[in-house]
Amino acid sequence: MTGVARLVAMPLAALVMVGGVLGVQVANGGGAFEPLASADPCAARTVTSRAEGMDALTERLVLLGIDAAACRLHVSREALTLELAQPGPRTDEQVEALHDGLLDAVRRMKEEGSLPPASDLVDEALDNADLNRFLELAIRALPDSVIDAALKTDDVLVRTIEDLDLRAILEDLDDEDDLYRQVNAAVTRAVKASLVDRLRELVPG
């Protein structure tokens, strides 16, 4: 081996080995092996649910509502979720953003046509509602077309959101029973208010 060859062979071999290893690593995604980046909450997201009926509607409403709230607060939906998961008081901005975000979610689902008709939800709602037994039977006997004509899902949801004390709910998300009671009561009130308004529209004068 000549003097020059002895001088360059080892550095060249080292260069080839390091270049080869790093090249293969980078070509296979080396350097990009990082935790999932949070998605832009302002970009439209397809939200699905494994649940059915009211549970599915609630899940989609909450997921879209958090997206819209996070967009208003200029944070990721994950950061907002983690923050809301911590116990403690909420800021006015958070409560307002969530309120408006939930309303945005209702609007979006209505525009997409993904809100179920009221007749799809009425049986489940009646199971949970604290109504007179005869009244409950009478409502169950109504044809779907009558129910859908009398009750609009988006109207009930908007009334429910306006009625809910979001600050109180957000401050104690761990108490599932209380959360369930509050939402149920708000839905029942919203249904009644929606029906009363509908009757007023139907009765002239």
Partner 1 sequence: MARVRRAAGPLFAVTVALVLADSAVVTLALPDILRHLHTTVGEVAWVLIAFNLVLGLGAVPTAVLATRARPRLISALGIAAFAGSSAWCAAAGSIDVLIAARCVQALGGALALVGCLELLVAEYGERRGVATWVTAGVVGTAVGPFAGGVLTQAFSWQAIFVVQVPFAVLAVPAALAVPATPETTPDRHRPALRPNLTLALLSAALTAALFLLVLLLVEGWRHSPGTAALTVSVVPVAALAARPLARLLRPPPEVEVAAGCFLIAGGLVGLAIPPSAHLAWTIAPQALVGLGLGLTVDRLTSQAMELRLPRVRHAGWTIGARHVGVVVGLAILTPVFTADLQDAQVPAQEAIASLVLDAPLQPQDKIAIAQALGRELSDEEGRVPDLHRAFETADLAPEERPAAARLERALDAQLERAATRAFRDSFLIGAGLALLALVTVVVPRRRRS
What residues line the site for partner 1 (CB under 8 A)? 1, 6-7, 9-11, 13-15, 17-18, 21-22, 24-26, 28-39, 48-51, 55, 58-59, 63, 66, 76-79, 81-82, 85, 174, 176
**C-beta of 104: minimal distance to partner 1 in Å?**
17
For the CA atoms of 142, 148, 154, 158, the dihedral, rounded to the nearest 10 degrees, stands at -40
Say whether 174 sits in a helix, a strand or coil. coil
**C-beta of 21: minimal distance to partner 1 in Å?**
5
**C-beta of 108: minimal distance to partner 1 in Å?**
17
Measuring CA to CA, which residue among 72, 98, 71, 64 is closest to residue 84?
A: 98
| Residue whose CB is less far from partner 1, 38 or 114 | 38
**C-beta of 100: minimal distance to partner 1 in Å?**
20
| Residue whose CB is less far from partner 1, 10 or 196 | 10
Structure tokens at 86: 């911590």
Measuring CA to CA, which residue among 21, 129, 39 is closest to residue 75?
A: 39
Say whether 20 sits in a helix, a strand or coil. helix
| Residue whose CB is less far from partner 1, 63 or 185 | 63
| Residue whose CB is less far from partner 1, 172 or 197 | 172
Measuring CA to CA, which residue among 120, 103, 104 is closest to residue 164?
A: 103
